[in-house]
Amino acid sequence: MPQNKLLEDFRKLQSLLDSGATFIAFDTETTGLNSTTDRVIEIGAVKFDKTGIIDKFQTLINPQKAIPPECTEINHITDEMVKDAPVAEVALKEFSDFIKDGILIAHNANFDLNFINEELERAKLPQTKNKALDTLTFVRWAYPLLGKYNLQLMARLMDINVTDAHRAFDDARVCMEVFNKTLKDTASVQKKA
């Protein structure tokens, strides 16, 4: 499976944003933690650049198998909610068209990228090779003394409104805001790069 190139020179992110690059903060909800045996049941994404939000993407996905109760407890997505949703092949084609060659951003990016690429492989679609940024790694670099870095904690510490935790679209929006706030907080470090 091809690996996405993770951006790790955080000092250059502001100049990348200023250059007009398009970023897509995204999140997935899944039936479990193993990308080879579990399935994506929701994708949410926010496309933005230096001027702000450009577009939004959200879809439930029919995993064609039952959603485990422990997953429903976390994300509140039920079998009934996904029964008429598109299957992964259709949803992932739309997601690929949405992201084009933008820079992907996710909190614990490898988790979401592995699920997306596994679903694309199952559907015999080209896997994403987009550059990607892991906000989890970014916030650990920017705020080394915090100790804990989960998305909901970062949102609380940054005074970011969370309206629907553990749903893909809201988590993607929160991820974008965490990225933007961290970028603002580290601007002086990045100007020295």
In angstroms, the CA 148 to CA 145 distance is 9
Burial 155-180 (b: 16+ CB within 10 A, else e): beebebebeeebbbbbbbbbbbbbbb
- For the record, the structure tokens of 187 come out as 């601007």
Inter-residue contact 77 to 45 (CB < 8 Å): no
Convert 74-104 to b/e letters by CB count within 10 Å (16 or more is b): ebebeeeebeebeebeebbeebbebbeebbb
Which residue type does 24 have?
Answer: I
Q: Rounded to an integer, what distance in angstroms lies between the CA atom of residue 32 and that of residue 157?
A: 28
Bridge pairing between strands 40-49 and 23-30: antiparallel
Is 76 among the residues known to form the active site? no
Set 39, 47, 107, 166: catalytic member: 166
Contact (Cβ atoms closer than 8 angstroms) between residue 63 and residue 31: yes
Q: Which residues are the active-site residues?
A: 166
